[in-house]
Structure 1
Amino acid sequence: MLRIAVLVSGGGTNLQAIIDAIDNGKITNTEISMVFSNNRNAFALERAAKHGIKTQVLVPKEFGSRDEFNEAFYELLIKENPDLIVLAGCLVVIPEKIVKAFQGRIINIHPSLIPSFCGTGYYGLKVHEKALERGVKVSGATVHFVDEGTDTGPIILQKAVYVRPDDTAKTLQQRIMEQAEWKILPRAIDLIANGKVTLEGGKAVIDDYDPDEI
């Protein structure tokens, strides 16, 4: 059984997609051991509580320094020791110490087709604003492993979403969540839980993968 810790900062729609996929059997051999947030008011915490999932909160501004927060964050995750850490709309920069401690065991969902519109400063609506400014005709979402860089880890899954002429950043964001994020994040977790994802030569290799299934 894969024990996952889901890290969130806001509404938790991706968390809900994971919970629903576990409930309906699209994610197998997996349980959520903890939901963590850096925001005490995150609605994601209510989603977790509704399903009886343990929650933990650490707020950076409540610590004397960022280093103190990072150390408490590290100790919390080390104590929990999940098999996989899932960044599902988590706006906390993951300290290098945590990345190294959980090498190959942290994944993230990003709302674009990496390597486009990713890296430092690209999060939330900003990703979609920049995509629309550039005039792209196709966007989407990416699930990738987390390494020491920003959105630079090995790509696991991607799904494309067409951009409409009348799209705003908010309508594009919503459609990418519905058509891509909520599909490929649960699928990636299920693949990992069933031993179908390996890292080879800096790339994520998937066994028996059919792109049409997502």
Structure 2
Amino acid sequence: MRMGSRSSRGSVGTGTREGRDNRVEGAEARLVVLASGQGRVFAALAQACTELNLPLEIAGLIASRPNIGAQEVARAHGITETVINKKDFATEMEWDRLLCEQIESWGADWVLLSGYLTKLGPIVLDVYKNRVLNTHPSLLPKYGGKGMYGRRVHEAVIAAGDKVTGITLHLVNHDYDEGPILAQHEVPVRPGDTPESLEMRVVEAEKRFVVETLTALCRPQ
């Protein structure tokens, strides 16, 4: 695969011929991943795409800021990666438009938010309506919404005394964590669990869950 560049531009709403013509043989869908952190789930998905002959190609990674773990994961797997930081743009519309153009330039069929902490703008959400996915570390609608991400979610689960938590894969709309739910997986909360121990188990379950659900979603019926 090829290294991305912030100078890559396409016509919003059309995609590019180059991105679609470079589809990996056997892949039924091209996925662009957006991330803000370590990329643990992204790493599991990238490895599965390589080793398990999934009907899915990761066309590229867009990082919300430089020097994050997800970029190292992309480089290790030969996946195109670039940084598009909202803070670098004078207006939200300019950022939103370039983000959409970059996704389209890779010929994306689906967009996956994997620990991506920047709320998407209306251009991306309209062009990719019902094709933007988010994985969230709780059983939504519980423990979702603005500011609920990462360890904060697990702290809330422990504080509430819940016996079960889990992972949700849902479509993304204009509100935090409120899009239609596609799949969920339960993870038991064990006696003596801390936010840290619970997070570790949820992440491990999330790796398997994301691989399995995306495979089912992208495989022809």
- TM bin, normalised by shorter chain, reads 0.7 to 0.9
1:58 is aligned to 2:104: no
Please tell me whether residue 187 in structure 1 is matched to residue 200 in structure 2: no
Residue 49 of structure 2 corresponds to which residue in structure 1? Answer: 22
Matched, 1:92 2:118: yes
Aligned residue among 117, 127, 140 for 1:101 = 127
In 2, the alpha carbon distance for the partners of 1:79 and 1:54 equals 12
Runs of 5+ in structure 1 lacking a partner? 197-214
Task: Deviation per CA, 1:51-92: give whole Å up to 9, x if none.
Answer: 111001112222223333223212222333301111111111
Amino acid at match of 1:5: V
- The alignment status of 1:168 with 2:194, answered yes or no, reads yes
Moved segments of 4+, more than 3 Å:
none
Query: Do the aligned residues in 2 keep the contact of 1:39 with 1:58 (CA within 8 Å)?
Result: yes
Aligned length: 194
RMSD, aligned α-carbons: 1.5
* 2:151 aligns with one of 106, 125, 143: 125
Looking at structure 1, the residues matched to 216 and 49 of structure 2 have their Cα atoms a distance apart, in angstroms, of 13
Ranges in structure 2 where 5+ consecutive residues have no aligned partner: 1-26
- Determine which of 102, 106, 117 is the counterpart of 1:76: 102
1:10 is displaced (CA, Å) by 0.8
1:161 is paired with a residue of what secondary structure? strand
Structure 1 contact 34–55 (Cα < 8 Å) conserved: yes
What is the CA-CA distance between 1:34 and the residue it aligns to? 0.4
Q: Does 1:151 align with 2:177?
A: yes
Deviation at 1:23, TM superposition (A): 2.3
What is residue 6 of structure 1 aligned with on the other side? 33
The two structures have a TM-score, normalised by structure 1, of: 0.85
What's the TM-score, normalizing by structure 2? 0.83
Residues 86 and 106 of structure 1 are in contact (CA less than 8 Å); yes or no, is this contact kept in structure 2?
yes
